[in-house]
């Protein structure tokens, strides 16, 4: 059986430590969830747009996920900070938890959800 993938965005849309691309992800039961993809260390990473502390979206403004240093993803509500390459909480009220990472692949100049 062929693997199903869904286009998220063109690779050149994602600047290193820049704005992310938001997209909707269907969940079981027909509900939709917000998700995002960012570029860090030259690689694309995607997560559900849900803080591990409280299940709210983390971006400050649509697509703004990085802190001022560009080293961490930061929750706009409680200041929880996450590693962009693993989703691991590095500080704040989410300690010991992580963002839910999504399976993606980058090929042929595009980023796809697997």
Cβ–Cβ under 8 Å, residues 85 and 40: yes
pLDDT classification of 111: cutoffs 50, 70, 90: very high
- Sequence spans of domains, the chain: 6-113
Average pLDDT over residues 90-113: 95
pLDDT tens, 26-78?
A: 888 889 999 999 999 999 999 999 999 988 999 989 999 999 999 999 999 98
Given a cut of 50, whether residue 108 has pLDDT beyond it is yes
Given a cut of 60, whether residue 11 has pLDDT beyond it is yes
Q: What is the 3-state secondary structure (H, E, C) of the chain?
A: CCCCCEEEEEHHHCCECCCCEEEEEECHHHCEEEEEEEEECCEEEEEECCCCCCCCCCCCCCCCCECCCCCCEECCCCCCEECCCCCEEEECCCCCCECCEECEEEECCEEEEC
Third-level CATH fold of 6-113: Rieske Iron-sulfur Protein (2.102.10)
Q: What pTM value is reported for the model?
A: 0.93
Cβ–Cβ under 8 Å, residues 24 and 34: yes
Average pLDDT over residues 88-96: 92
């Amino acid at each position: 059986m062929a693997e199903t993938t869904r286009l998220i965005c063109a690779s050149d849309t994602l600047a290193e430590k820049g704005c992310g691309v938001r997209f909707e992800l269907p969940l079981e039961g027909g509900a939709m969830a917000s998700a995002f993809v960012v570029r860090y260390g030259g690689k694309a990473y995607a997560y559900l747009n849900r803080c591990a502390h409280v299940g709210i979206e983390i971006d400050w403004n649509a697509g703004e996920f990085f802190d001022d240093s560009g080293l961490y993803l930061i929750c706009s509500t409680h200041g929880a900070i996450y590693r962009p390459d693993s989703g691991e909480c590095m500080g704040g009220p989410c300690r010991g938890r992580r963002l839910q990472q999504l399976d993606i692949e980058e090929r042929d100049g595009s980023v796809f959800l697997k």
